[in-house]
Amino acid sequence: MKLIASLTSPYARKVRIVLAEKKIDCPLQVDIPWETTSTVADFNPLGKVPVLIMDDGSTLYDSRVIVEYLENSSPVSRLLPQDSKRMLIETRRWEALADGICDAAACIVVEKRRPADKQSQEWIDRQQGKVDRGLQALSSMLGERQWCNGEAYSLADIATGCALGFLDFRFPQLDWRSPYPNLAALEERLAARPTFAETVPPAA
Ligand SMILES: N[C@@H](CCC(=O)N[C@@H](CS)C(=O)NCC(=O)O)C(=O)O
Q: What is the pLDDT of residues 146-160, one digit of tens each?
A: 999 989 999 999 999
- Pair 179, 89 in one domain: yes
- Pair 58, 32 in one domain: yes
48 touches ligand 1 (CB under 6 Å)? yes
Residue 11 to residue 102: CA distance in whole angstroms = 8
Q: State the sign of the Cα–Cα–Cα–Cα dihedral 131, 135, 141, 147.
A: positive
- Pair 31, 52 in one domain: yes
For the domain that residue 151 is a member of, what is the CATH number?
1.20.1050.10
- Pair 96, 125 in one domain: yes
Task: State the pTM of this model.
Answer: 0.98
Atom number of ligand 1 nearest to Cα 62 = 20
Instruction: Please state the domain count of the chain.
Output: 2
- Pair 50, 29 in one domain: yes
Summarize pLDDT for 29-82 with one digit per residue, the tens. 999 999 999 999 999 999 999 999 999 999 999 999 999 999 999 999 999 999
For atom 9 of ligand 1, the residue with the nearest CA is 9
Query: What is the domain extent for residue 102?
Result: 85-194
Atom number of ligand 1 nearest to Cα 110 = 16
63 touches ligand 1 (CB under 6 Å)? yes
- Ligand 1 center to residue 124 CA distance, Å? 18
- Pair 57, 151 in one domain: no
- Pair 175, 89 in one domain: yes
Contact between 101 and 131 under an 8 Å Cβ cutoff? The reply is yes
99 touches ligand 1 (CB under 6 Å)? yes
Beta carbons within 8 Å of 29's beta carbon, 6+ residues apart: 2, 3, 4, 5
- Pair 154, 65 in one domain: no
Residue 64 to residue 98: CA distance in whole angstroms = 12
